[in-house]
Amino acid sequence: MAQGLIENGHSRGRNMAIDPDQFDVPVVDYDFSNATSPKGLLDQMASAGGFTATKLAMARDILRDMDHALSEADHDPAQMLNWLSFPACLCATGTRGFFVEALRRKMFNVVSTTCGTLDHDIARAHAAYYHGAFELDDIELGEHDLMRLGNVIVPTSSYGEIIESVVMPALEDIRKERLEQTGLTG
């Protein structure tokens, strides 16, 4: 049922005619005695339903199929073009490691993201972010030189100045190069 809704574009908030007969895939509880590996757990997520479990299993299947197709095309961008697009907040989490590994494996030819991705990548390369909670008081966190990004805690010391120390010299190099090439400063 859910797969059909996704394929038909109805999951994006469009009006849909509900057919109760389409709800035919039961939610199945995890059986941890059979989840002896990450693969086994992901296989069960496909049936567990709820929130992101099924999407994680679906993403695994898409990536597996994509990797197979890329291998058959010898990673030739003339034969296959794969785009990766994501918001910056994911680089504040452990998901950053997925992006790094996927790019190392040349699974994507094009990456489209926001400028905040650069901020988080630089900051996390220099200092740690920490597990937190959505419910934490932002004012109280600020009193301890901490910031909250969803349920991730970002120490003030690992943001701001660290990013500026890396980005500002690069921007100055770009400005100088542009001035040399065009004579324009703006």
- pLDDT at residue 50, rounded to an integer: 65
- pLDDT at residue 36, rounded to an integer: 81
Is the pTM value of this prediction over 0.75?
Answer: no
Instruction: Give the length of the chain.
Output: 186
Q: Which of 53, 82, 48 lies closest to 65, judged by CA?
A: 82
Q: Which helix (H) or strand (E) holds 102?
A: helix 96-104
**pLDDT (tens digit, 9 = 90+) per residue, 64-73?**
899 899 989 9
> Are 151 and 133 a contacting pair, CB within 8 Å?
yes
Cα dist from 17 to 1, 8, 20, 23, whole Å: 13, 12, 10, 13
pLDDT above 90 coverage of the chain, percent? 22
> Are 153 and 146 a contacting pair, CB within 8 Å?
yes
- What is the average per-residue pLDDT within 49-63? 77
Question: DSSP class of residue 149?
Answer: E
What residues does each domain of the chain span? 1-73
- pLDDT at residue 40, rounded to an integer: 83
User: What does the block give as tokens for 50?
Assistant: 């709820």
Is residue 6 predicted with pLDDT exceeding 50? no
3-state secondary structure of 146: strand
Question: DSSP class of residue 88?
Answer: G
d(CA 125, CA 103): 17
Of the given ranges (54-58, 67-71, 107-111, 147-151), which has the lowest mean pLDDT?
54-58
- pLDDT at residue 4, rounded to an integer: 44
Is residue 158 predicted with pLDDT exceeding 90? no
d(CA 34, CA 47): 13
Q: Within a 13 Å sphere around the CA of 153, how many CA atoms are in the beta-carbon half?
A: 15
What mean pLDDT, rounded, does the chain reach?
A: 81
- pLDDT at residue 184, rounded to an integer: 84
Is residue 94 predicted with pLDDT exceeding 70? yes
**pLDDT (tens digit, 9 = 90+) per residue, 116-156?**
999 988 988 888 889 888 888 899 989 898 989 888 888 88
